[in-house]
């Protein structure tokens, strides 16, 4: 029998690796790594060490390189994101392992982008747009549209919700913002998050959400960049249920209002011919008219009804009823979509460009063409097989 080789790692690193991966208890970490809880508890208490194969199990479960466990000391936390998600009842908020993994990936991708830019002799320009929660969100929303050079004619030219999403994304990326789509977060957990660095700030949007919701999240998180707040968010307006501090509520209310004002400017919204059909505070809007406004502005029906409430054109009771209707319709549509997706073949090149964004993909491919990256490194950074790289290049329009 081969002699057991212990992994001589510090107990503090074992605890850090587990908790930073989102497993708050020993039992959760042990279950993920498929080791006995009592064994993991002993290792974390300094009562013995895991074997090398056991350490590999922990590394795989915590999504960490094996070498991390052999560091001299616990790394400093590199995810200073405020958790601004709503807090139902008195339940404590926590970030799941998948959400923590997506946050780590976003930081790693940003670091990679900075390195690739330096290799190409480029430097990111400073992100200069700013706002404070003391400002009028309508004015800030107008400033966002001006900075992105988006007009009502721009929105009218976009054919459908997906083209609207791409239009807003491309304009924001043009300001030196990296935009990624997360693929591992449940829709109930978070809509997105922002990393508000002065250079190459990052927005991450939950790909599991409907595309219209993603567009709203994109503008909501963009508002977080303006306020220089790195955070995990949701875009719910049900703040009366919250138990979070008032200042955190104020940030989310402000970012929601800025997103709505940028997507559906007050003047253009109220000038729409449909408004004449519903004078004053109407207690009922026809579904087809709500959908018409949603299509024009590239947003969800819920966002339209919320905007009608904000601008005094319907009641909050009407919004609550419509929101419940839309949630149920989405649940049914999601079930059908999941059933259909089981039989659909994935388009890996398209998914790669969509999730990583054209700017980062372009940097990777440009470094490859300048012989600074090997084909295997490109494959690793993009997360796809080498046979897909030429198609990714076509989609990203890299020359």
Q: Report the domain count for the chain.
A: 3
Six-digit token pair at 158? 């976009």
- Which one of 73-77, 152-156, 236-240 scores highest in mean pLDDT? 152-156
What is the per-residue pLDDT for 244?
57
How high is the pLDDT of residue 189? 86
**Which residues does 197 contact at the CB level (< 8 Å), separation at least 6?**
110, 127, 230
Q: How many CB atoms lie within 10 A of CB 109?
A: 19
- 195 lies in some domain: yes
Position 83 confidence tier, pLDDT thresholds 50, 70, 90: low
* Residue % of the chain over a pLDDT of 90: 67
Domain-located, residue 326: no
In 3D, which of 261, 169, 174 has the Cα closest to residue 218? 169
- What is the residue range of 245's domain? 79-263
Q: Are residues 96 and 199 in the same domain?
A: yes
The residues near 244 (Cβ < 8 Å, ≥ 6 apart) are 84, 86, 87
Residues 136 and 171 in one domain: yes
Q: What is the pTM of this model?
A: 0.85
Q: Looking at the structure, tell me whether residues 110 and 139 fall in a common domain.
A: yes
Q: Residue 79 pLDDT > 80, yes or no?
A: no
B/e letters for 334-347, b = 16+ CB within 10 Å, e = fewer, are eeeeeeeeeeeeee
Contact criterion met (CB below 8 Å) for 22 and 99 = yes
Residues 110 and 228 in one domain: yes
Residue 66 lies in a domain: yes
Residue 314 in any domain: the answer is no
Q: Are 47 and 59 in the same domain?
A: yes
- Percent of the chain residues past pLDDT 70, beyond the cut: 90
How many CA atoms, within 13 angstroms, populate the side-chain half-sphere of residue 379?
7
pLDDT given at position 343: 67
61 part of a folded domain:
yes
pLDDT in tens, 244-297: 566 777 899 999 999 999 999 999 999 999 999 999 999 899 999 999 999 999
- Is position 3 within any domain? no
> Over the stretch 303-319, which tens digit does the pLDDT of each residue have?
999 999 999 999 999 99
Q: How confident is the model at residue 1 (pLDDT cuts 50, 70, 90)?
A: very low
Same domain, residue pair 161 and 40: no
Please give the helix or strand (H or E) that residue 203 lies within, else none: strand 202-206
Write the pLDDT tens digit of every residue in 42-53.
999 999 899 888
162 and 258 fall within a common domain: yes
Check whether residue 220 and residue 139 sit in a common domain: yes
Same domain, 71 and 179: no
Angle, alpha carbons 30-32-35 (nearest 5°): 40
324 located within any domain = no
Mean pLDDT of the chain: 89
Same domain, 27 and 102: no
Same domain, 64 and 151: no
Structural domain ending residue among the three candidates 77, 102, 135: 77
- Looking at the fold, whether 177 and 63 belong to one and the same domain comes out as no
Flag whether pLDDT at 398 surpasses 60: no
Residue 233: its H or E element: strand 231-233
Segment 333-339 shows an average pLDDT of 78
Q: For 127-151, how does the pLDDT look when each residue is reduced to its tens digit (9 = 90+)? A: 999 999 999 999 999 999 999 999 9
Q: Looking at residue 51, which CATH number applies to its domain?
A: 1.10.260.40
């Amino acid at each position: 029998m081969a002699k057991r080789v212990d992994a001589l790692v510090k107990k503090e690193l074992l605890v850090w690796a587990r908790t930073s991966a989102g497993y708050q208890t020993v039992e959760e970490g042990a279950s993920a790594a498929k080791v006995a809880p009592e064994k993991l508890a002993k290792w974390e208490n300094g009562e013995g060490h895991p074997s090398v194969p056991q350490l590999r199990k922990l590394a795989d479960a915590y999504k960490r390189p094996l070498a991390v466990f052999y560091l001299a000391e616990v790394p400093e936390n590199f995810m200073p994101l405020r958790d601004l998600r709503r807090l139902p009842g008195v339940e404590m908020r926590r970030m799941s392992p998948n959400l923590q993994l997506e946050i780590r990936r976003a930081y790693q991708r940003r670091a990679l982008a900075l390195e690739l830019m330096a290799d190409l002799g480029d430097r990111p320009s400073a992100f200069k747009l700013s706002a404070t929660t003391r400002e009028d969100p309508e004015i800030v929303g107008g400033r966002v549209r001006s900075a992105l050079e988006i007009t009502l004619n721009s929105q009218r030219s976009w054919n459908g919700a997906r083209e609207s999403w791409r239009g807003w994304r491309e304009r924001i990326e043009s300001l030196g913002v990296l935009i990624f789509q997360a693929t591992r977060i449940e829709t109930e957990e978070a809509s997105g998050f922002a990393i508000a660095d002065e250079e190459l700030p990052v927005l991450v949007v939950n790909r599991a959400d409907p595309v219209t919701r993603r567009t709203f999240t994109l503008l909501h998180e963009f508002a977080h960049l303006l306020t220089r707040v790195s955070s995990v968010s949701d875009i719910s307006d049900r703040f009366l249920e919250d138990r979070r501090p008032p200042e955190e509520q104020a940030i989310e209310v402000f970012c929601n209002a800025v997103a709505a004002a940028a997507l559906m400017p007050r003047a253009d919204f109220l000038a729409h011919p449909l408004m004449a059909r519903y004078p004053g505070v109407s207690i009922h809007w026809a579904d087809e008219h709500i959908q018409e406004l949603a299509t024009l502005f590239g947003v969800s029906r819920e966002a339209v009804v919320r905007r009608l409430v904000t601008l005094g054109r319907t009641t909050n009771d009407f919004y609550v009823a419509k929101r419940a209707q839309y949630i149920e319709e989405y649940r049914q549509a999601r079930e059908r979509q999941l059933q259909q997706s089981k039989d659909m073949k994935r388009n890996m090149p398209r998914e790669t460009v969509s999730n990583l964004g054209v700017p980062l993909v372009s940097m990777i491919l440009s470094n490859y063409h300048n012989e600074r990256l090997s084909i295997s490194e490109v494959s690793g950074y993009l997360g796809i097989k080498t046979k897909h790289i030429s198609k990714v290049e076509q989609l990203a329009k890299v020359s």
